[in-house]
A and B are shown apart, each in its own frame.
Chain A
Amino acid sequence: MNSVIGSNIVRFVILLLLQVVICNNINFFGYINPYIYIIFIFLYPVKEDRLILLLVSFMLGMFVDMFSDSGGVHAAAAVCLAYARPILLKSSFGMLYEHQSIKFTNTEVGSLISYVTFGTVLHHLILFSLEIFNITDILLILKKTLFSSIFTIILSVLIIILFSRNRK
């Protein structure tokens, strides 16, 4: 139990620092940044309390907002992702989720990719809609969502796979 809390705290801090120090400054093609801190929400243990996940996601988003001076957009997007997580889990992992027996370290890569993809697109769509906050710029919102999502999905899947292999 303690090691679960400990490893999640470490993951929280490391992902937050990686996000604000490195990923916020990549600016690929001028505006494409990956938002890898959502890996924390993806990998949060399934059995733990959902209320705590919501609170922790809110805090994580708030910290990212504080570092990037963006009001509350990351907090809102992270809370939405955390709330929608059971639906994403159910649609991607099916029976495994029903039995509460998902271990992200040894799931099929296919279901993992679909889980990360749906989650990332949802998170980024909310994030950029709130950031740009102007319905006339809907094309810009979709463009940013698409390109940043591709970047985030590739990085997230790579990070999850790499670090789960180590733990075995």
Chain B
Amino acid sequence: MQQIFNFVIRNKTFLLFLLLFSIALALTIQSHSYHRSKFINSANGITGGVYGTVNSVDQYFDLKDENQILAEENRLLREKILNLENKSDSSFIDTSYAKEKYKVFTAEVYKNSYSLSDNYLTINKGEKDGLVEDFGVITSNGIIGIIDNTSNGYATVLSILNRKSRINAKLKSTNHIGSLKWNGKSPEFTQLIDVSKFAPVKVGDTIVTGGQSSIFPQGIGIGTIDSFETDISGDTYNINVKLFNDMTNIGTVYILQNLDAEEIKTLQNSIDE
């Protein structure tokens, strides 16, 4: 017994080092292998407070750009409204049966990273605004990611620039689907894999969300095809997609809540069983 105590006291530095290093290593492995990084994340009061203070100064520097983005989006929406009004003149649409499918929130980006191999954003809305995990996050240009962790006032977003991210996507012109992931290299490009070799893939074609998941509605823009090659197996295409969004410059985002998500999930779970 005495010897054990002596051993512990003699090697206390090494043992403490080993303990701390294993904790850190466990957290690292946990963050690499599971979808959610549960313990250490930036959705909390301390980090949110610091990033909020910085953001309140920082946002003045790109007010002009933000205004331009908003004006452009307003123009698009106005165009759509005008076209809708013209259409509805000719035929009467009974809207009382139409049900809302998506609820939209806005949020400001407090922290955005794109230079790591697993990137997350922090936004200034959280559980008290009704956000929970697995809501989709987009801008007026295209998709950003999926809500990952939430705290009371803040949430982290698993960016599409994250090697853990998998998003269902398809070619806009046809219905050939694939899965969007990132190889960890350039923040301008992501990769669409598992696209059937029968798909008519052309450089410059648009890629949009596929609507097979309950997170994003169908047809939200992702990017255009920059280059493509057949997989080693020869059965599928691997497509390099140039993103519509400049992921290095994101100010305001929209969060989409699919109001049917619960229903779809229970239905799918009942199939699994």
Measured CB to CB, the residues of A under 8 A from B are: 17, 20-21, 24, 27, 30-33, 50-51, 54-55, 58, 61-62, 65-73, 75-76, 79-80, 82-83, 130-133, 137, 140
A76–B21 touching, CB < 8 Å: yes
Q: Give bound CA distance, A83 to B122, whole Å.
A: 32
**Does B98 sit at the interface, judged by CB under 8 A?**
no
Q: A56 vs B50: C-alpha distance in the bound complex, in angstroms?
A: 21
Are A68 and B28 CB-contacts (below 8 A) given A51-B12, A51-B13?
A: no
Specify the main secondary structure of chain A where it touches its partner.
helix
Q: Check B41–A76 contact: CB distance below 8 A.
A: no
Bound CA span A114–B46, Å: 36
How many residue pairs between the two chains, A and B, have CB atoms under 8 Å in the bound complex?
107
| Residues B50 and A132 in contact, CB atoms below 8 Å apart | no
Task: Mark each residue of chain B from 3 to 47: 1 if its CB lies under 8 Å from any CB of chain A, else 0.
Answer: 000000000111011001101111111111000010011101011
Given A66-B44, A68-B113, A132-B117, residue A73 in contact with residue B28 (CB < 8 A)? yes
Is B116 in the interface zone, CB < 8 Å from A? yes
B184 within 8 A of A: yes
Q: A72-B28, A76-B21, A79-B24 are in contact. Are A67 and B42 (CB under 8 A)?
A: yes
Residue interface bits B99-110, CB-to-A below 8 A is 1, else 0: 000000000000
Q: Give the chain B neighbours of A137 by CB distance below 8 A.
A: 184
* Sampled A-B contacts (14; CB under 8 Å): A27-B115, A54-B16, A55-B20, A58-B20, A62-B40, A66-B46, A69-B37, A69-B122, A70-B118, A71-B27, A71-B32, A72-B31, A131-B116, A132-B184
Q: Does B120 contact A (CB under 8 A)?
A: yes
B126 at the interface (CB under 8 A from A): no
B116 contacts across to A, CB distance below 8 A = 68, 70, 131
Task: Given A21-B54, A24-B113, A65-B40, decide whether A72 and B24 contact each other with a Cβ distance below 8 A.
Answer: yes
Beta-carbon nearest neighbor of A58 in chain B: B20
Interface size on B, residues (CB 8 A): 42
User: Do B50 and A66 have beta carbons less than 8 Å apart?
Assistant: no
Q: Is the CB of A72 within 8 A of B27?
A: yes
- Say which residue of A20, A31, A58, A133 sits within 8 Å of B24 (CB atoms): A58
**A27 and B20 form a contact (CB under 8 A):** no
CA distance in complex: A80, B27 (Å): 15
Chain B residues with CB under 8 A of A71: 27-32, 37, 40
* Assembled-state Cα–Cα distance A20/B113 (Å): 11
Is A69 a contact of B30 with CB atoms below 8 Å? no
Q: Across the interface, do A54 and B17 meet the contact criterion of CB distance under 8 Å? A: yes
Cα separation A66 to B49 with both chains bound (whole Å): 13
B187 CB–A CB distance under 8 Å:
yes
Question: Cβ of B25: which chain A residues have Cβ within 8 Å of it?
Answer: 72, 76, 130
B182 touches A (CB below 8 Å)? no
Knowing A54-B16, A54-B20, A69-B120, the reply to whether A76 touches B28 (Cβ < 8 A) is yes
Smallest beta-carbon distance A65→chain B, Å:
5
Residues of A within 8 A of B111 (CB): 67
Residue contact A72 to B248, C-beta cutoff 8 Å: no
Measured between C-beta atoms, what is the minimum distance from A108 to chain B in Å?
Answer: 28
Residue from A66, A69, A75 whose CB has the most chain B CB atoms within 10 Å:
A69
Is B184 touching A75 in the complex (CB atoms < 8 A)? no
Q: Answer whether residue B114 sits at the interface, using C-beta atoms and an 8 A cutoff.
A: yes
Chain B residues within 8 Å of A32, by CB: 115
Distance of A30 Cα from B113 Cα, bound (Å): 11
From B25, which residue of chain A is reached at the shortest CB distance? A76
Contacts of A75 in B (CB 8 A): 20, 23-24, 27
> Is B40 a contact of A66 with CB atoms below 8 Å?
yes
Contact between chains at A79 and B17 (CB < 8 Å): yes
Give the distance in Å from the alpha carbon of A160 to the alpha carbon of B111 in the complex: 29
